[in-house]
């Protein structure tokens, strides 16, 4: 699969609706009701709460103790763990979907993490901030400093993000490890899908974040 083969996702919710972020609503729409889901890097459990409203059996793993405590206080099934080291302990096909939302860039071994997602789950949903977004390019070009946006507010010396990537980079990684892209969408600065009929490089320029529904390639 090449970057040109990215499949668009139609009929998605745009912007913010209710108390949930646009990307969380998009992720939730990709999951079939009744599915068993693991949310890796679940934060304070906002996405898990949304999944519960859709009749989805959600579990979570979160690195920070504070995040775990807040999830448990909400009645969510969340344990403390590190995506880089603890996913290997989960058995094959333990979940219908494994979600990695806005966390890929903070992992030490993104490729290994992605491979584990698709070993543990029959499908994986991955979202991440697009470092190829035009505002980031402009800050580097004009300002000469590491970019900061609403989705990436931390300074370069105080960020958990260590592996920034673009939508193009991610598509090429999926191609390299034989991952099938079932659906994908780029969201703009306002949480709206970038028009579907535009070429992939426009997504890479104007998509602030990418959301991908993945499955194993090669008939695995």
pLDDT digits (tens, 9 = 90+) for 9-19: 433 343 434 57
In this predicted model, which residue has the larger pLDDT, 41 or 133?
41
The pLDDT score that the predictor gives to residue 165 is 85
pLDDT digits (tens, 9 = 90+) for 86-136: 999 999 999 999 999 999 988 999 999 999 999 999 999 999 998 877 677
The 10 Å Cβ neighbour count of residue 19 is 9
For 207, residues 6+ apart whose C-beta sits below 8 A from its C-beta are: 130, 132, 133, 167, 186, 187, 188, 194
Alpha helix (H) residue ranges in the chain: 22-30, 46-53, 65-73, 83-86, 110-120, 134-138, 167-176, 200-206
pTM: 0.83
Q: What's the whole-number mean pLDDT along residues 63-89?
A: 96
Q: Please answer whether residues 149 and 170 qualify as being in contact, where contact means their C-beta atoms are separated by less than 8 angstroms.
A: no
pLDDT digits (tens, 9 = 90+) for 181-202: 999 888 988 888 887 666 666 7
Per the prediction, the chain carries an average pLDDT of: 84
């Amino acid at each position: 699969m090449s970057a040109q083969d990215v499949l668009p996702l139609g009929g998605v919710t745009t912007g913010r609706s209710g108390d949930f972020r646009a990307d969380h609503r998009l992720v939730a729409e990709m999951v079939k009701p009744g599915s068993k889901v693991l949310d890796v890097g679940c934060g304070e459990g906002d996405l898990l709460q949304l999944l519960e409203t859709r009749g989805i059996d959600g579990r979570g793993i979160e690195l920070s103790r504070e995040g775990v405590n807040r999830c448990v206080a909400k009645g969510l099934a969340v344990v403390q763990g590190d995506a880089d080291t603890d996913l290997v302990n989960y058995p094959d096909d333990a979940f219908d979907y494994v979600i990695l939302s806005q966390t890929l860039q903070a992992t030490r071994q993104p490729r290994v993490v992605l491979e584990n997602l698709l070993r543990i789950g029959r499908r994986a949903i991955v979202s991440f901030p697009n470092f190829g977004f035009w505002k980031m390019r402009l800050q580097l070009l004009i300002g000469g400093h590491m970019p900061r946006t609403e989705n990436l507010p931390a300074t370069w010396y105080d960020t958990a993000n260590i592996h920034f990537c673009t939508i193009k980079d991610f598509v090429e990684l999926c191609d390299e490890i034989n991952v099938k892209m079932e659906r994908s969408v780029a969201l703009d600065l306002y949480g709206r899908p970038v028009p579907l009929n535009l070429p992939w490089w426009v997504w890479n320029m104007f998509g602030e974040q990418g959301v991908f529904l993945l499955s194993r390639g090669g008939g695995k």
